[in-house]
Amino acid sequence: MEGRKLKIGGIIDGVGWNYTGWRHPAIPADASENIDYYVQKARQLEQGRFDLIFLADVSHIGPGMIPHYLSMFEGVSILSAWSMVTHSIGLTATIATSYADPFTVARQIASLDKISKGRAGWNAITSNPGGLANYSRSHLRKADLYPMKKEFLEIVEGLWDSYEDDAFIRDKKSGVFYDPGKMHPLHYTGNYFQWRDH
């Protein structure tokens, strides 16, 4: 179709999604937690005109898992580091709505967006029962996964819209930091989340 463009993303996953990749002579054995390796790969994707870097992630690790899972970077942290060494490529984190908190995710992605000057993205997924070990809560029934995700997304989007784009004036001469009329507190009541800004 005329006018449509293909968007291309690249995944950087350290030693790879297998059990033996870390032994390859061309890959540092610690590639999954080697910042220099990650920076090199991010720059290669940007130079290759990729549209975005996509980070897959998991909410749990355990014995017998692939080496990459056992020693990989946390997504928003590495994307923030990449934002300082890249200029145009999009930066997309994977965060599961099943165990994360909407307020924390809203802050993480908004902060990444500001640090990267508008290049942040979020792959919002549900999670499997393995996350129980790390989040001290009972796992959702399968029927709850997507209704909870819907509420989670509504809260995050509501928090992002809490301030209008031009709310922060920051005028030193007048002493006006922001316009309170452009602040919109979020009040939300759902089956899984209740939220009330004060």
Is domain 9-128 given the CATH code 3.40.50.300 in the classification?
A: no
pLDDT at 130 over 70: no
pLDDT band at 138 (very low <50, low <70, confident <90, very high): low
In tens, the pLDDT along 148-168 reads 999 999 999 999 999 999 999
Domain boundaries, given as residue ranges, for the chain: 9-128
pLDDT at 81 over 70: yes
What pLDDT was estimated at residue 50?
97
Q: Report CA torsion sign: 106, 107, 113, 117.
A: positive
Q: What is the average per-residue pLDDT within 81-90?
A: 97
What pLDDT was estimated at residue 59?
76
Higher pLDDT, 152 or 63: 152
pLDDT band at 62 (very low <50, low <70, confident <90, very high): confident
Q: What is the average per-residue pLDDT within 52-68?
A: 87
pLDDT at 136 over 80: no
What pLDDT was estimated at residue 198?
56
pLDDT band at 194 (very low <50, low <70, confident <90, very high): confident
Tell me the whole-structure pTM to 2 decimals. 0.89
Please list the alpha-helical segments (H only) found in 74-172: 75-83, 102-115, 132-135, 142-160
d(CA 195, CA 198): 10
pLDDT band at 103 (very low <50, low <70, confident <90, very high): very high
What pLDDT was estimated at residue 135?
72
